Chain A
C-alpha cells in the first residue's frame, strides 16, 4: 500500500462517459481469442457430492487435503501459505489445515464444522464435504452428510472400528446415503499389514450389513503420505485393488425422481399483480399446462393454466428440482404446505406417524411434549405420543429403561417413535419418494432432529382411520363475503384476575354494536359444561385448551369473530391452537397485570384460597404461567383503562383487511 493515498481513484477508473452497465451479449467479441458466436455455454457437467466421515482423528481432513494436493486442485501458493503460517506459530504442518481453517480448529487439531471443496478428476466435478468426527459435532456431520450422494468412511488401522465409525454409518443409512467406500487409513502405523487390513474389513463388513449397507470398496491408505490416493507408493505391494481416484468413478449418480408421480409442495402464493402465482419446488415428477392436479390435504382439484417465467416465455413443462410458479384455471384457495399431485396418484395423509428419528437437540426429546414437525413446506405442531424403543447408535441394540418404557431420547440417540400431528400431514414412503418421506422436528424454530417415516406401501395407509375432512357447499370465504368482515379468534390469555372477562364483555358489546358477527366464550363457562369432565392436571389443562381451540376454530370458520377468555397457561397449547386457525386470523392477546396486582384484585377470592393450599395447581401460585412469546397484543391492565384495552383490540381486528378475494392481516 502506498504511504499516502490520493483522494481520488486512479484516472483509469474515473467516472465513465459511456453507459455504466455492461451487457455480456453486446460484448461477445473477444480480443484475446477467436470471436465467439455461441452465447449459451456448453452443458456444464453435473456436480457429485461426497462426504468424508468417521471417528475423530482418523484422518478425514488430512485425507481431503492430500486428495486436493495430489490432484493439483489447490490454488497457487495455498500450501506454501499454510506452511508459512504454521512455521510462524511453531506448529507442524498438517494437510488438515487446508480444510480446518478456523483458529480453534488448528489449535486443537480438530474439525468443528464441515467444509465443502470442489475438485475434479477430469471425468467428473466433485464437491467433497469434510465432516467432523468428534461426537460433540454430530449435528455438523449430519448437515454435511445430508447433501451427499456418497461417502468415504475412514478408519484408523491402529485404532480400528470405533463408536463414531458405527454411529456415522447408521446416520448415513438414515440420511439415505447408500454408496460408500471405506478407507482404512494410517496403514503406516500398522506396518502396512495386510492381515490387519483384512481383519478390519471382516469386522466392519459384518456391522454394515446389519444396516443394509454394502461398501463399493475397502482401500488401505496413508492419508499423510498420500499412498493409494492418487499414487500407489511402494509400501503396500500386496494391494491389487484400486486407488481412491480409480475407485471414485464407481459412485453412480442417484436416480432422479423425474419418473415418479408429481409432488409439488406449495411454498407461497404471490399476488403482486392480476396473477395468482402458486410457487414451489417440484420434489418429484413433472408438470405442464393442462395437467389436472389435486391439492392434499383437502382434495382440491384444479387445472394448471401456465408455468410462469420472468424475462422469458412461459414454460412448456418443468421437472423435478425446478422451483416453479404456476397459475390455475380455477379459483381455489390453497396455502403453503398443500401438496399438488396427479388425481390418480395422491400421497398418503395421516395424523399419526411412525418414524425412526435421530435427535440432535441439546434438551432430550420428551414423550407427551409438543414440538413442531416440518415435512417439505408443511409445518404443524405435534406431540410425541410414544417412544417405542431407543437404539444405541454405536451398537445398534435397544436401550431399555428400568421401567421397560423410555420417556425421553437423549442427544445423538436414534429411536422409533409415534407422533400425533395437529394438522394432517401429507407424505410418501421414503423408499419411493424420499423428500416426501422424511421430516425434521423443530424446537423453538431450530432443527432438533430428523426422521424417516416408517410406512409400508402395501399397508395402504392412505387415510388416517378412515376419517376425511368433509366440506360443504358454503365455504368460509362465502360467509365472510356476506358478513363483510373476516372470521377470527381473539384469544385472551393471562392470570386469573388480570381482566380477561371484563375486557371480553366490553369488546363483545362494541363489536356487536359495529354490526359484526361476534360471540364470547368464557373459560369458566366451558368448565361448567363441555369440559366439566376435566380437572386441573397438566394433561387436563391441555385438553381444556385443545377443546376451546377447536370450538374457536369452528366459529372463525363460520365467519364469526370469536372472543375467548381463558387463563391458558401453556405456551405450546396456545401455539397449537394458533396453528389450527387459518393464518392471520388468530389474535393472541396477553392480558397482563403483575401477579401481586391480580392477587390484590382477587375478584373470586381464589388467590386467598390458593395461598392457604385450599386450591391446588393454581396458576401463578402453585402452577406455572408461560408468558406469550409472540402475542399480537399485550395489554397492561394495571396501566390501561378497559376502554383503552378494547380500542387496541379493535384496531388489531380492523387490521385484517381485504386484499383481492381474501382477507389478510397487515
Chain B
C-alpha cells in the first residue's frame, strides 16, 4: 500500500473509532485545505453520509471568498452546519485594531468554541491538526483529552498504542480526535490532487502571491508564489524550506506562543 493510502486508511479507522466511542460529536470546519480533506475522509469512512454536524467558528474576519466557499460546500457535501460567533466579544469591540493577535484568536476562536461545546455538550471534536505544523502539535495523540477548562495537559497525556484510544470523558470534558496527525502539508496536497477534492481558490497565486495557510485576513499574509495549480503547489512544496504557518501572526507573537494558545484550548 502506498503511503498516501496508508494515511487515508488509518484516518478512516480513527473516524470510525470516534463515532463508536462518542455519541455527541462535532467536526470544526475552517474551510481550509485540511478541513476539506477531513470532510472527504469522513464521507469515505461513512459511505457518503457525515453522521455528525460540522461547526464553523466564525471570527467575522474570514476572507469573503471563504464565506462563499462555505455556502457552496454546505450544499455540495450536504453538511449539517452550525455557525458560531462570539457575539459578546464582538460587542465588546475585540478586533485586530485594538487587541493583540493572541488575545483576538483566543476570544474569537477558543472562547467561541468553548461556548459551542458547553451548549451542545459535545464529547468529542474531530480536528484537522497535523504534527508537522508546529512542534507542540508533534507531541499530540490521536485521541487527546481536554479538561473541563478546555486545557490540554501536555505534561501527562494518556498512553495510546496498538490503535487503542482513551475514551474517558468526564463531565464538561471532551476529546480532540485528530485523524490527520500523521499527515504532512505535502501529503494533504498530494491527496487533494489524487482525490480531486474541492478547496477555496485562495491557495493559488494571484499577483505573485498565495496563501499557504488561511486564517483571519488581518493577520494572515500571502507568501510569494507562482503556483496556480495543485501540481504547481506540490512542486513548490517539494523544494521549500520555509514553514507553513510563517504567514500566521499569532504563532510568532512571543516565544512559545503556540504552546500557550494550545494549552488554553486552541487547536
Contact = CB atoms under 8 A, between A and B. Distances in A.
Contacts of B4: 41, 44
Contact of B1 (A21, A139, A319): A319
Interface in A1-51: 1, 4-5, 9, 12-16, 18-25, 27-33, 36, 39-41, 43-47
Nearest to B70: A20
A267 interface: yes
B150 interface: no
19 contacts: A9-B63, A13-B202, A20-B69, A20-B71, A21-B200, A27-B230, A32-B228, A33-B231, A39-B193, A40-B194, A46-B3, A101-B139, A103-B259, A112-B155, A115-B139, A279-B45, A281-B13, A310-B43, A323-B13
A497 interface: no
Interface in A571-599: none
B201 interface: yes
Contact of A21 (B10, B19, B73, B157): B73
A324 B171 CA distance: 34
A440 interface: yes
A536 interface: no
The SS class assigned to the A binding surface is loop
A343 B12 CA distance: 27
A76 B20 contact: no
Given A27-B230, A44-B2, A267-B16, A104 B155 contact: yes
B130 to A, nearest CB: 11
Contacts of A247: none
Interface stretch (A186-194, A444-452, A545-553): A444-452
Interface residues of A, number: 93
A308 B134 CA distance: 36
Given A20-B69, A22-B198, A88-B255, A99 B155 contact: no
Closest 10 CB pairs of A and B: A101-B135, A146-B161, A20-B68, A445-B168, A139-B159, A15-B64, A323-B12, A21-B198, A9-B217, A76-B241
What size tier do the contact residues of chain B reach? Answer: 35 or more
Residue in A23, A310, A444 whose Cβ sees the most chain B Cβ within 10 Å:
A310
A447 B159 contact: yes
A270 interface: yes
Contact of B161 (A14, A142, A268): A142
Interface stretch (B84-92, B114-122, B203-211): B203-211
Contact of B154 (A98, A113, A125, A310): A113
Contact of A12 (B154, B207, B232, B242): B207
A323 B44 CA distance: 10
A14 B199 contact: no
A99 B139 CA distance: 9
Contacts of A118: 132, 184
B220 to A, nearest CB: 9
B2 A115 contact: no
Contacts of B224: none
B235 interface: yes
A268 B15 CA distance: 11
A21 B67 CA distance: 11
A24 B229 contact: yes
B199 A21 contact: yes
A121 B43 CA distance: 36
A163 B45 CA distance: 44
Contacts of B20: 267-268, 336, 377
A385 to B, nearest CB: 22
A13 B64 contact: yes
A322 interface: yes
A175 B194 CA distance: 34
A440 B3 contact: no
A125 B227 CA distance: 25
Given A113-B157, A115-B135, A22 B200 contact: yes
A117 interface: yes
Contacts of B65: 13, 15-16, 20
Contacts of B139: 101-102, 113-115
A272 B97 contact: no
A75 interface: yes
A143 interface: yes
B16 A24 contact: no
A325 B232 contact: no
A85 interface: yes
B160 to A, nearest CB: 5
B190 A44 contact: yes
A268 B23 CA distance: 13
B246 to A, nearest CB: 9
A563 to B, nearest CB: 26
A462 interface: no
B229 A30 contact: yes
B252 to A, nearest CB: 10
Contacts of B230: 24, 27-28
Interface string A71-99: 00011111000000100110000000011
A267 B167 CA distance: 15
B231 A36 contact: yes
A237 B159 CA distance: 43
B266 interface: no
Nearest to B159: A139
A20 B64 CA distance: 10
A47 B47 contact: no
